Amino acid sequence: MQGEGPSTGRSCSFLRLGGCNLTCTWCDTPYTWDWTGSSESGVAHRPADELHPMTVEEVTERLTAFGTDLVVVSGGEPLSQQTRLLPVVEAMREAGVDVEIETNGTVVPAPELAAVGVRFNVSPKLAHSGVAESRRLVPGPLAAFNALSGTCFKFVCSGPDDLTEVEQLVRAYGLENIWIMPRGQSPEEIAEGLRALADPVGARRWNLTGRLHVTLWGNQRGV
């Protein structure tokens, strides 16, 4: 199930790609990029264990076999591989399957990818990510995503104090369709974060999302 954002609760299939151009300390998928143990987990993952090269045909066949009407492409940072990703997305769209791409918003989407009718769920990183601002906030890509119909901007917040930073980014870049999600990797953390954020998010007329998959299954990897 899609656990976050506008499609929360929808049955879906996930395509997770390896590699990321950012190094967020609290990343919940460090196994996609952290080969040195630099994230909070402190675990140095092995590329040979985590990355499994597949052809476009193999990926498309696997996704089609799941039989869902939504495919969510995540990472890592999927747009680092968007040239290879394009034919997979095109095949899914031709089959009538909705496609959402989760991205950190630092890479401009290729016009061909944007043209096939995907939705981009853009998650710009805040200062608590530990990533330098010049790396995590790139004006060109943010403007490109903001101009695309259906794009949502999803910010991970540790608490209400982070909303001031979000406000500054919304004003600076003219962002629309704002979603706030609590940081957390346990059902208890998510519930506490939602309670703390609900009133200040509502007062700003933004949207609030939990992490349904964490609420239901805790901090465990899917299969």
pLDDT digits (tens, 9 = 90+) for 13-43: 999 999 999 999 999 999 999 999 999 889 9
pLDDT at 222: 67
Query: Is the preceding omega at residue 76 within 30 degrees of 0, hence cis?
Result: yes
- Is 94 contained in some domain? yes
Own/partner pairs, 10-14, CB within 8 angstroms, 24+ separation: 10/70, 11/68, 11/69, 11/70, 12/68, 12/70, 12/71, 12/72, 12/100, 13/63, 13/66, 13/68, 13/70, 13/71, 13/72, 14/71, 14/72, 14/73, 14/74, 14/222
Q: What is the pLDDT of residue 219?
A: 81
Rg of the chain on CA atoms, in Å: 17
In a domain, 60, yes or no: yes
**Number of domains observed in the structure of the chain:** 1
Q: How much is the average pLDDT of 187-204?
A: 97
Average pLDDT over residues 112-122: 96
Using left for φ > 0, alpha for ψ between -120 and 50, and beta otherwise, residue 130 falls in left
Confidence check: pLDDT of 223 > 70: no
Please count the other Cβ atoms lying within 10 Å of the Cβ belonging to residue 185: 14
> 40-44, 160-164, 188-192: lowest mean pLDDT where?
40-44
Q: What is the CATH number of the domain that holds 22?
A: 3.20.20.70
Determine, yes or no, domain membership for 223. Answer: no
pLDDT in tens, 64-94: 999 999 999 999 999 999 999 999 999 999 9
Q: Is residue 159 domain-resident?
A: yes
Does the pLDDT value for residue 152 go beyond 80? Answer: yes
Task: Tell me if 222 is assigned to some domain.
Answer: no
Return the SS3 of 47: helix
Which band of pLDDT confidence, cut at 50, 70 and 90, is reported for residue 156?
very high
For residue 204, pLDDT over 70 is answered with yes
Please state the rounded mean pLDDT for residues 172-181.
98
135: containing domain? 5-217
